[in-house]
């Protein structure tokens, strides 16, 4: 029998058809409907974790929000898995996540939710990036605490002893980088009653409902929402580990808020993938038409960033710089003495074009600040405060890069206006300090690396 089968010969066409069939099966198992059902299943587990620990849920963006219904979400964090990759082990001075301290102190901890791709037990963001964050903050905020409070804690089933030692050896340099930002250590310490420490939960964990109080620390519960899948999706009945990740390749513009608002309808649409895709596109379009009602976010006393379109009428005492995702002629950017509409394109192209646009934006803002102050006087007879509003289509990327450049040029260390641009000679260090202040005021901001590189190039060029 073995001899007979060894003489079998498959034609190249048969091999080609077999490969195509496997690819089709893989695509069908990674369908939108399977992803949404997997997300809903994982979200049920996250709710069980929240009930067991009786602590608020924090989404580690971008993925974590898929697993938390909006009415259960207490906030967002940005712990990057790449900061925990082998050989990286970074403490991000751009993503300080200091907004979590108030939540942790008020509720004796929190639950940070994330997921990871197939085959991994937990994401590096939860196994290494969060532990680094906890350890660094403890050493800065509680310098006189016990050695145990300053210890690095990592999950032994995900981080080897060798890697743990290498991470720990770099903690002092991370502490120095945080201290160099000049953050309000006393103010942050007042938000906590004791140090913080990571605790890990996965779908493999045994959950026992309890209101346990950790005497020596506030627990930061690192919750991996998706169960571990070591084989293919075909063997899991369509379940997809980390289904909420990689959204640009499957979600058709669907976001967690839109998903959860229409979850029952989306999950009930099983007629065909084409019908579900059509429904998703329609819901996304309806949500886009509603606009962003959150309003501008203040990042300095007289500097704000916002999302387009701007729904509220802007005062002539506000210098408005609107950044659009279409490319326009620079000669057409200035619309009035207080309004500039800059077209730089989309995505990475926009971030690169920002480097060329920043000199014109800076000049426009400078001219606005140097105008006579007798235009819009208040009831007291004195001129009202000059304000700057920078808006882009997300309100979190390009506008933040522009705000950073303006903050470095026209605002002093206290965040107050300077009558003329500050002297040249910006360094990466002082730019990093200004960026940390923006991110502290606006934790949801998400400037891309290319955007920040453009701002740095302009300021140091």
Asked whether residue 235 carries a pLDDT value surpassing 80, the answer given is: no
225 and 301 assigned to the same domain? no
Asked whether residue 249 carries a pLDDT value surpassing 70, the answer given is: yes
216 and 73 assigned to the same domain? yes
The CA–CA distances, whole Å, from 170 to 87, 167, 263 equal 11, 6, 44
The pTM score is: 0.83
Q: How confident is the model at residue 301 (pLDDT cuts 50, 70, 90)?
A: confident
Asked whether residue 314 carries a pLDDT value surpassing 60, the answer given is: yes
In a domain, 258, yes or no: no
209 and 313 assigned to the same domain? no
309 and 189 assigned to the same domain? no
In a domain, 16, yes or no: no
57 and 153 assigned to the same domain? yes
3-state DSSP assignment of residue 300:
strand
241 and 301 assigned to the same domain? no
Which pLDDT does position 427 carry in this prediction?
Answer: 87
In a domain, 66, yes or no: yes
The CA–CA distances, whole Å, from 40 to 28, 35, 146, 341, 423 equal 18, 9, 42, 41, 54
State the Rg of the chain over Cα: 25
In a domain, 323, yes or no: yes
In a domain, 336, yes or no: yes
- Percent of the chain at pLDDT exceeding 70: 84
Which pLDDT does position 193 carry in this prediction?
Answer: 93
Q: How confident is the model at residue 133 (pLDDT cuts 50, 70, 90)?
A: very high
The domain containing residue 168 runs over which residues?
33-229+237-245
3-state DSSP assignment of residue 201:
strand
Distance, CA of 207 to CA of 327 (rounded, Å): 53
- 9, two tokens: 């010969």
Say how many C-beta atoms besides its own lie within 10 A of residue 443's C-beta. 20
Q: How confident is the model at residue 22 (pLDDT cuts 50, 70, 90)?
A: very low
Q: Are 256 and 263 a contacting pair, CB within 8 Å? A: no
In a domain, 357, yes or no: yes
- 416 phi and psi, to 5 degrees? -95, 155
- 86, two tokens: 């082998």
In a domain, 280, yes or no: no
Asked whether residue 213 carries a pLDDT value surpassing 80, the answer given is: no
Distance, CA of 159 to CA of 86 (rounded, Å): 10
241 and 306 assigned to the same domain? no
Q: Of 46, 37, 47, which is closest to residue 239 (Cα–Cα)?
A: 37
Q: Identify the domain boundary among 219, 245, 271.
A: 245
CATH number at residue 326: 3.90.190.10
Q: Are 441 and 400 a contacting pair, CB within 8 Å? A: no
In a domain, 18, yes or no: no
- Helices and strands, counts by H and E, the chain: 16, 11
219 and 322 assigned to the same domain? no
Bigger pLDDT: 155 or 233? 155
Q: Is the peptide bond before 309 cis (omega within 30 degrees of 0)?
A: yes
- Give the distance, in angstroms, between the CA of residue 243 and the centroid of all CA atoms in the same chain: 18
Which pLDDT does position 279 carry in this prediction?
Answer: 92
Number of structural domains found in the chain: 2
Which pLDDT does position 12 carry in this prediction?
Answer: 61
Distance, CA of 259 to CA of 378 (rounded, Å): 46
Distance, CA of 153 to CA of 397 (rounded, Å): 33
Average pLDDT over residues 28-43: 85
221 and 359 assigned to the same domain? no
Which pLDDT does position 153 carry in this prediction?
Answer: 97
List CB contacts of 140: < 8 A, sequence separation 6 or more.
175, 178, 179, 185
- Percent of the chain at pLDDT exceeding 90: 57
317 and 241 assigned to the same domain? no
Helices (H), 142-197: 161-169, 171-179, 185-189
329 and 434 assigned to the same domain? yes
Asked whether residue 321 carries a pLDDT value surpassing 50, the answer given is: yes
313 and 182 assigned to the same domain? no
């Amino acid at each position: 029998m073995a001899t007979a089968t060894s003489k079998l010969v498959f034609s190249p066409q048969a091999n080609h058809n077999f490969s195509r069939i496997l690819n089709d099966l893989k695509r069908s198992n990674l369908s939108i409907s399977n992803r949404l059902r997997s997300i809903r299943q994982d979200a049920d587990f996250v709710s069980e974790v929240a009930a067991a620990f009786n602590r608020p849920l924090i989404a580690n963006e971008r993925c974590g929000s898929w697993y938390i219904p909006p009415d259960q979400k207490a906030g967002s964090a940005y712990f990057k898995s790449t900061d925990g990759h082998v050989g990286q082990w970074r403490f991000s001075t751009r993503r300080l996540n200091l907004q979590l301290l108030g939540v942790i102190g008020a509720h004796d901890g929190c639950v940070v939710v994330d997921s990871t791709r197939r085959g991994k037990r937990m994401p590096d963001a939860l196994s290494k990036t969060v532990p680094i964050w906890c350890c660094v903050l403890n050493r800065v905020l509680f310098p006189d605490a016990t050695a145990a409070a300053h210890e690095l804690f990592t999950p032994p089933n995900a981080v080897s002893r060798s890697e743990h030692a290498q991470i720990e050896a770099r903690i002092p340099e991370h502490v120095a980088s945080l201290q160099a930002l000049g953050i309000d250590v006393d103010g942050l310490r007042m938000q906590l009653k004791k140090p913080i420490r990571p605790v890990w939960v996965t779908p493999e964990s045994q959950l026992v409902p309890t209101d346990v109080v950790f005497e020596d620390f506030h627990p930061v519960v690192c919750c991996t929402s998706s169960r571990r899948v070591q084989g293919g999706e075909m063997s899991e009945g369509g379940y997809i580990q980390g289904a909420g990740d990689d959204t640009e390749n499957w979600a058709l513009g669907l976001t967690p808020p839109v998903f959860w608002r229409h979850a029952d309808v989306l999950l009930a649409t099983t007629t065909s993938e084409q019908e579900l895709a059509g429904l998703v596109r329609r819901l996304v379009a309806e949500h886009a038409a509603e606009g962003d009602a959150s309003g501008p976010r203040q990042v300095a006393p007289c500097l704000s960033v916002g999302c387009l379109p701007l729904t509220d009428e802007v005062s002539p005492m506000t210098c408005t710089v609107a950044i659009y995702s279409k490319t326009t002629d620079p000669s057409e950017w200035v619309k009035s003495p207080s309004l500039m509409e800059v077209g730089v394109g989309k995505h990475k192209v926009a971030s690169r074009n920002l480097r060329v646009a920043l000199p014109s934006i800076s000049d426009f803002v400078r001219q606005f600040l140097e105008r006579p102050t007798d235009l819009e006087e208040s009831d007291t007879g004195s001129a009202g405060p000059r304000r700057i509003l920078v808006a882009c289509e997300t309100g979190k990327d390009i506008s933040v890069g522009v705000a950073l450049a303006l903050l470095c040029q026209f605002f002093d260390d206290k965040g107050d206006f300077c009558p003329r641009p500050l002297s040249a000679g910006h360094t990466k260090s002082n730019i990093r300090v200004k960026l940390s202040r923006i991110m502290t005021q606006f934790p949801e901001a998400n400037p891309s690396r290319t955007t920040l590189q453009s701002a740095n190039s302009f300021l140091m060029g």
